[in-house]
Amino acid sequence: MSLSWEIENYLEIQNDQVFIDGISAVELAREHGTPLFVYSERRIRHNIDRLRKVGAVIDCNLKLCYAAKAMSTMGILCAVKEADCDVEVNSGGELWKALRVGFRGPQIIFNGTSKEIWELEMAIEAEIYAIQVDSPVELAMIETTAKQLGKQANVSLRLVPEIESATHHGLQTALLTSKFGMMPDEALDCFRQYKDSPHLNLAGIHLHIGSQNPEPSVYGEAFEVLFGNLREIFGETGVRLSHVNLGGGFPVDYISGDENAEQFSVERRQMFGADFEPANAISNAWAAVKQAAENADASHLLDGITLLLEPGRSIIADAGVLVTSVRNIKQRPVSQPTANRQPPTDDWLLTDAGFNLLLSMATYHWYYHLISASRASAAHDFPYKLAGPLCDGGDVYFDVEGEGRLPDHRLLPKNVELGEVLVLLNAGAYTLSQASQYNARFLPPVVLIRNDGHAELIRRQDSFDDLVASDLWAR
């Protein structure tokens, strides 16, 4: 009988050990050390294929752009490109990496709230598919830059549609209180002002509701908003858009039956355990928009249009795990002993992976299911306090502020030993890409298990030199 977190032909228990694409996590830890990220190219492809199913439920073209900020190690970007998926970048640095990996301009879209001129120049020179414009001020900058380069920039205007998702506050991006995008009225004014500019191709409109959206219905709301704006833009300015962009945000089930998560509030359980088929959500949204278009005698506006999606998490989160080791063990009373009372003790495990690698564990109290790599089928029923290696009291796997946003204890097999290898599941997104060398800790190596089943080191562990690579100092 398989356990709830197992995924057939990818993440499985063999001989009591966690195996990833047929390779033992314990063996990988022995060969490469820990902490270690392990990714599966097959799973990346599986996830891209799953999203590609959206193309079959809409009567228009689909353009899938992987959100590079979720994980942009070059070997991963390369695997995404080889899976025929395009890319979304958020900075000149990510744009540079995408171009370096071999994405062509028309395969790239560029988001961001604070783009600099050099970044715009790079994007315009590369003739990317769309710069997603965050404000009217930015659009003016893009026009000026394109003019100076003697070029035309392809742009898509990012709207802030005031759609609320039941995700974490920090991951909401479509509320007026968020920092992103422009009001639909402002966008309309931009279309009026720039529709005849020879330096701007006003190609589309864009929104992104948020990340880890638990409710499929928000995609219907978002599509309705996009279509309403598309119609208004055409009606008021005559500009016919060639694409609309619904953003990313499809959820990943971070819990998958994990008993640790029973301590969550209902809302957090729903968010972390969210799971729906993107194709179903978009199918319903498309049907509603098509009907609205027919009712308004505006179906022609959907003819030949391209729908863009820019998912990150749903491509890469469950394709990666973080392998860590227990480096220290201690027992500690939960409170001060008194003369007539000996308080209970907690068993503490100190690992080599903390918020230097899992930043959102600290910022968003993000949850990663933890299992023993060498005793995977043993009962995970003994409570431990878990913490990382940093010299920082907030580097813990529980809610240090005591507000219960993470379980106080993690359940693992009894008698966890020094050196025991543990695996954090669904750790592929927004982890290494947010990691730091805090405490002068080395950024870890990354192994990608290729389609043919061989494990390839795609990033080496940092060296001492890497710790000072950018420092300018005289000895």
What phi and psi values does residue 20 have, to the nearest 5 degrees? -115, 120
Binding pattern to ligand PLP, positions 68-107, x when CB under 6 A? --x-----------------x-------------------
Q: Is residue 310 a contact point for ligand PLP (CB under 6 A)?
A: yes
- Supply 107's token pair: 């395969």
Q: Is residue 313 a contact point for ligand PLP (CB under 6 A)?
A: yes
- Supply 391's token pair: 């010299």
Which residue lies nearer to ligand PLP by CB, 116 or 303? 116
Task: In angstroms, give the least distance from the CB of 166 to ligand PLP.
Answer: 14
Q: Could you tell me if 424 and 314 are in contact, meaning their C-beta atoms sit under 8 angstroms apart?
A: no
Q: Could you tell me if 62 and 54 are in contact, meaning their C-beta atoms sit under 8 angstroms apart?
A: yes
Q: Is residue 307 a contact point for ligand PLP (CB under 6 A)?
A: no
Q: Tell me whether the omega of the peptide bond preceding residue 106 falls within 30 degrees of 0, making it cis.
A: no
Rounded Cα distance, 350 and 320, in Å: 22
Binding pattern to ligand PLP, positions 235-274, x when CB under 6 A? ------------xxxx------------------------
Q: Is residue 380 a contact point for ligand PLP (CB under 6 A)?
A: no
Q: Is residue 431 a contact point for ligand PLP (CB under 6 A)?
A: no
Q: Among residues 75, 161, 312, 320, which is the contact residue for ligand PLP, using CB under 6 A?
A: 312
> Could you say which of 60, 78, 190, 391 is catalytic?
391
Q: Is residue 63 a contact point for ligand PLP (CB under 6 A)?
A: no
- Supply 441's token pair: 């800790």
Q: Is residue 184 a contact point for ligand PLP (CB under 6 A)?
A: no
Residues of span 200-229 touching ligand PLP by CB under 6 A: 208, 211-212
Q: Pairing state of beta strands 153-158 and 200-206?
A: parallel
Q: Could you tell me if 207 and 308 are in contact, meaning their C-beta atoms sit under 8 angstroms apart?
A: no
**What is the CB-side half-sphere exposure of residue 390 using CA atoms within 13 A?**
22
Task: In angstroms, give the least distance from the CB of 208 to ligand PLP.
Answer: 4
Instruction: Name the nearest CA neighbour of 23 among 402, 394, 373, 460.
Output: 373
Task: In angstroms, give the least distance from the CB of 247 to ligand PLP.
Answer: 5
For the question of residue 391 being annotated catalytic, the response is: yes
Rounded Cα distance, 196 and 198, in Å: 6
Rounded Cα distance, 222 and 233, in Å: 16
Q: Is residue 165 a contact point for ligand PLP (CB under 6 A)?
A: no
Q: Is residue 28 a contact point for ligand PLP (CB under 6 A)?
A: no
Active site residues: 391
What is the binding site for ligand PLP (CB under 6 A)?
67, 70, 88, 111, 173, 208, 211-212, 247-250, 310-314
